[in-house]
Amino acid sequence: SPDALQECIQNIISRQMTQREAAAHFCIPRSTIKNKLKGSHPKPVGRSRTFTETEEKAFEQHLIKLADYGFPVVEFDFRIWYEWTKSFLSRHKNLSVRMSSNIKRVRAQVGINEINSYMDNLSVVIKDVPPSRIWNYDETNLSDDPGNKKVICKRGMKYVEKMCNFSKSSTSVMFCGNAEGKCLAPYVVYKAEHMWTTWTESGPEHVRYNRTKSGWFDSMTFEDWFEFSFLTEVKQENGPVVLIGDNLSSHISVKVLQLCEQYNIKFVCLPPNTTHITQPLDVAFFGPMKKLWRSILTQWKESKSGSKYPTIPKDLFPTLLKELMNKLNENKTQNLISGFKKCGIYPLNKQTLLDRLPHNLTEMDNNVIGEAFLEQLEAKRSDYLGTGNLKRRKKLQVPAGKSITVHDVIINEEDPKPMKSNKTIKSKKQKDNYPQVLLMKN
């Protein structure tokens, strides 16, 4: 390597080694050492680069900054030719190729003010609260699709098929863990109107099962989870307990808040549209868990018994869930601790979240990245995040079977009082008559 060669030359110049000793020690041919001492070959080994080192450094800085602002460059778009891109990435260790995840505009709009306000309030709530009493809950779904993987096939084959049953169905599961690394037993919600005994057999210990018509958690199932899963775990604690979660309307009910006051539980809601950076379970727990689930699901579907079913029977879901929890126990504690640390909850560190915002992600070299480039990035991001004035649409009053022109649309837009629909007139009549009906009853 260049570093070993440089060290070899330095040892010879400083008379610490002879040429023969250095050649044997560093495994470098003596002819190469002589050429370097004489300066016969000052240029680096290999063909000349397409771009200078300074230009490649500028490429690296610009690529990083584009990714920081939410506009990462696809490897194919940066390709001059395949081997050059591969060699460029190997020379610059700060760069790597990763799968990007799309986030909605409302999530990208999260700024410093929202994070500062959230962390300032949280610091007051969790003051002097040990990690064993700081909990985070969140629901997720375990799908019936094991996903796709790269396989070996004949060169030039465009469509490679793998026989594997899958569907779009999924089962909702609630998880809850604390900053010390302890995880409660999951709470399963099936999509059904009735429950059957076989849906609860052969599962993990202390798991509770429920069902809803939609398959998602509603206020009743959340209250049941809070009262019989979470409360039974923490009501014996001596001191305040902090429960952190998203601000879904189904998670906020009068019954839950009354129980929180009764048992000294502080119910904390995360800022809207920030769970991808502020929720420990989302940040460090669900990702590894979903990988394990896809692996378990693939093995089951490839087995003789699993290949018979078009989808996961609810009778067998508890068995697969038990296998998942057993494999999850290996790294479950460390993942939870890492999640709370990454979200700046425990230990409390506001800067951890602020560093994940675009303006604070990477220190840049002002000599490489110009102000004009940054201003263009700022303008592009502002244009994308700007809400804009959405034009309100109006119903066109066009007789059935008649065509319309642009002139008809312009006339309809200039009309300040659009024609009211029959539903509006009918509802107004009902509203006017409503007090009269009450008076007649009285």
Of 26-30, 73-77, 410-414, give the lowest mean pLDDT range: 410-414
**Distance in angstroms (rounded) separating the CA atoms of residues 186 and 224:** 13
Residue with the larger pLDDT of the pair 430 and 230: 230
- Do residue 33 and residue 56 come from a single domain? no
Using an 8 Å Cβ cutoff, are 184 and 230 in contact? yes
Which tens digit of pLDDT belongs to each residue from 54-108? 899 999 999 998 998 889 999 888 888 878 888 899 989 999 999 888 888 888 8
- Do residue 175 and residue 320 come from a single domain? yes
Q: Residue 76 has what pLDDT?
A: 87
> Taking Cα atoms as reference points, which of 130, 154, 322, 332 lies closest to residue 238?
130
Which tens digit of pLDDT belongs to each residue from 293-324? 999 999 999 999 999 999 999 999 999 999 99
Q: Residue 389 has what pLDDT?
A: 53
Using an 8 Å Cβ cutoff, are 138 and 246 in contact? yes
- Do residue 56 and residue 181 come from a single domain? no
pLDDT band at 44 (very low <50, low <70, confident <90, very high): low
pLDDT band at 435 (very low <50, low <70, confident <90, very high): very low
- Do residue 305 and residue 252 come from a single domain? yes
**Distance in angstroms (rounded) separating the CA atoms of residues 88 and 72:** 17
Q: Residue 362 has what pLDDT?
A: 62
Could you give the number of structural domains in the chain? 3
Both structure tokens of 293: 């689930």
Q: Residue 426 has what pLDDT?
A: 45
Q: Residue 436 has what pLDDT?
A: 34
Among 386, 403, 436, which residue terminates a domain?
Answer: 386
Q: Please, what sign has the CA dihedral across residues 337, 338, 343, 344?
A: positive
Alpha helix segments (H runs only) across 151-253 = 219-225, 231-234
- Do residue 337 and residue 367 come from a single domain? no
Quick one: average pLDDT of 118-144? Answer: 96
Of 311-320, 394-403, 431-440, give the lowest mean pLDDT range: 431-440
Q: Residue 356 has what pLDDT?
A: 85
Q: Answer yes or no: is 61 within a domain.
A: yes
Which residues is 203 bridged to in the sheet? none
Which tens digit of pLDDT belongs to each residue from 328-369? 999 999 999 999 999 999 999 999 999 888 666 566 677 788
State how beta strands 187-191 and 170-178 pair. Answer: antiparallel
Q: Residue 399 has what pLDDT?
A: 75
Quick one: average pLDDT of 395-423? Answer: 64
- Do residue 344 and residue 379 come from a single domain? no
pLDDT mean across residues, the chain: 86
**Distance in angstroms (rounded) separating the CA atoms of residues 288 and 198:** 29
Quick one: average pLDDT of 204-220? Answer: 95
User: Domain holding 273: CATH number?
Assistant: 3.30.420.10
Q: Residue 339 has what pLDDT?
A: 97
Alpha helix segments (H runs only) across 219-285 = 219-225, 231-234, 254-262, 275-278, 280
For the entire predicted model, the pTM comes to 0.76
- Structural domain that includes position 256: 128-145+166-355
Q: Answer yes or no: is 425 within a domain.
A: no
For residue 210, how many other CB atoms are within 10 A of its CB?
20
